Amino acid sequence: MIVLRPAKLTDIGNIERLAVDSGPMVCTLPAKRDHLLQKIEQSIYSFEQDVFCPGEESYFFVLEDTSTGHLLGTGAVNALAGYRQAFYSFRNDIIIHSSRELNVHSRIHALTLNHDLSDHSQLCSFYIDPSQRSTLSPALITLGRLMFMNAFSNRFANEWMAVLPGIADANGRAPFWEHVGRKFFGMDYNQVEYYNGTRDKAFVAELMPHYPLYVPLIDEEAQAVMGQVHQDAELQYQLLNDQGFEPDKYVEIFDSGPILTAPHNALPICLNMKTGSVVGEPLHADTKQYLVGYQGAKGFCAFIATGHLTEDQLIITKELMEEVGLSAHQKVWILAL
């Protein structure tokens, strides 16, 4: 059985392993024990709080194989992307230059440093073990977090977003960084992404240009990768896109990866999710797969089950209920897959 559940301090060894495996691409999951412990502690504290509006809370989930205790993936949610420090991105703008005398009217594509997304809730720290990429496990991490956010909407903003990594090669060379960011920072891409995941974000405001960057003046190699997602993140992109997240007008400041945004109330999971109860009975024909969320002893948990849905009652096997610790007629959140 594979379950999405809140991270706990005893997971630190497994989480460190996943952080190392994820590499520099997942900057919000750096392979640094102190940072990871702080991330877990902040998550435990957040789950324990009675929250009426989003603030500094951060919720960190892990994907566990309950038969072995082995962790297969991670995923987190920040209640507000920029609660204590601004969340920076580049905004795609059009700047108009015109001259009546010369009869010239030009629309110039420019990138403007901004913190427009600071008040969005942020999906982050997504990583899945490569052995699980072709299974339903990636969907469990993504949809499970969205279900949690919808079930406890008071904990989150009305606008949600996710930052996906942009184009970079195995040696850590990112074309956009080489032609833009390096000119202001003078350091390698992997190093700045590490700082981005472990340091105060003030360095972004201190070193990034404060005036619009005119895209036609940027090297063509960098222009070609703007808004493009790294191949290792294409699965995550597709999962979010299927749920209504779209790359609108923002890109990441270091590699120009896409930033996907969506209004909470328009997402399919928010429109189709049901609240009901669960019972354990033998299954018959015509079963379907469902994402099931429930409130566990340490916070919100989710798993994928085969069963029958009748009105507001989900029927699954007693063995499955026992394995995940559900009691008969316990309240659950349900989404047909």
Q: What is the pLDDT of residue 337?
A: 92
In the block, residue with structure tokens 């033998």: 282
Task: Find the helix packing angle between 137-151 and 234-242, rounded to 10°.
Answer: 40
Residue 136 and residue 279 share a domain: no
Q: Is the dihedral of CA 207, 208, 213, 216 positive or negative?
A: positive
In the block, residue with structure tokens 């392979």: 31
Please report, for the chain, how many H helices and E strands are present, in that order: 11, 15
Residue 289 and residue 169 share a domain: no
Domain count, the chain: 2
Residue 99 in any domain: the answer is no
Per-residue pLDDT tens, the chain, 337 aa: give them.
Answer: 999 999 999 999 999 999 999 988 898 999 999 999 999 999 999 999 999 999 999 999 999 999 999 999 999 999 999 988 899 999 999 999 888 888 888 999 999 999 999 999 999 999 999 999 999 999 999 999 999 999 999 999 999 999 999 999 988 899 999 999 999 988 999 888 888 888 777 788 788 888 999 999 999 999 999 999 999 999 999 999 999 999 989 999 999 999 999 999 999 998 999 999 999 988 887 899 999 999 987 789 999 999 999 888 999 999 999 999 899 999 999 999 9
Task: Report which secondary-structure segment, H or E, holds 247.
Answer: strand 246-251
Residue 101 in any domain: the answer is no
Percent of the chain that is helix, strand, coil (3-state, to 5): 35, 35, 30
- Among 269, 291, 318, residue at a domain's last position: 269
Residue 287 and residue 241 share a domain: no
pTM of the model: 0.94
In the block, residue with structure tokens 């299974």: 135
Residue 325 and residue 262 share a domain: no
Residue ranges making up the domain that contains 294: 273-336
Residue 100 in any domain: the answer is no
Does residue 65 contact residue 72 with C-beta atoms inside 8 Å? yes
Give the strand pairing for 313-316 and 299-310.
antiparallel
Residue 224 and residue 292 share a domain: no
Residue 241 and residue 167 share a domain: yes
Buried b (16+ CB within 10 A) or exposed e, 219-232: eeebbebbbbbbeb
Residue 104 in any domain: the answer is no
Query: Residue 239: CB partners within 8 Å, gap ≥ 6?
Result: 138, 139, 142, 143
| Structure tokens, 4 | 């999405």
- Measured CA to CA, the distance from residue 96 to residue 109 in angstroms comes to 9
Question: DSSP states of 30-47 as a string?
Answer: -S-HHHHHHHHHHHHHHH
Residue 150 and residue 29 share a domain: yes
Residue 186 and residue 311 share a domain: no
Residue 237 and residue 218 share a domain: yes
